[in-house]
Amino acid sequence: MTEETPTDNSGRFRIPTRPPSLPGSREDKVTAAMEHKAICVVVLALLLALSTLVQGQAETCEVTPTERKNCGFPGITARACHEKGCCFNSATRGVPWCFYPSSRNAPEDVPDECEF
């Protein structure tokens, strides 16, 4: 006994396809759950983007160099400084390069200079 290869009317090989899933089937529920998760991820990303815009409007890095409150440590990178939520500007020597934004108050217990 030999198995016949499925072909269409022209004699070419036909790739068998799965029948569409029925509404309410497990596959349909998994697809709906994945769509829900994708929507949640997109909404979360938009909320994060909007919160960043709002934060940028309320806080500004336009602080005169002499009024900067240190937010980092000597040698901190711009990336590490920004990850702390602080501003970074290395254009002026002798002042903190990583500093708190103007509308955000620096913690009172952080000294401006290192004490030995």
Residue 14 resides in a domain: no
- % pLDDT > 90, the chain: 31
Residue 19 resides in a domain: no
Query: In this predicted structure, what is the pLDDT of residue 56?
Result: 45
Residue 90: domain span: 26-99
Residue 68 pLDDT greater than 90, yes or no: yes
Residue 62 pLDDT greater than 60, yes or no: yes
Task: Give the global pTM.
Answer: 0.42
Number of domains in the chain: 1
77-82: average pLDDT: 95
65-73: average pLDDT: 93
How would DSSP label each residue in 13-50? B----PPPPPTTSHHHHHHHHHHHHHHHHHHHHHHHHH
Residue 10 resides in a domain: no
Residue 46 resides in a domain: yes
Radius of gyration of the chain (CA): 30
Mean pLDDT, rounded, of the chain: 75
Residue 75: what residue type? G
CATH of the domain at 43: 4.10.110.10
Residue 69 resides in a domain: yes
Residue 51 resides in a domain: yes
67-85: average pLDDT: 93
Residue 108 resides in a domain: no
Residue 89 resides in a domain: yes
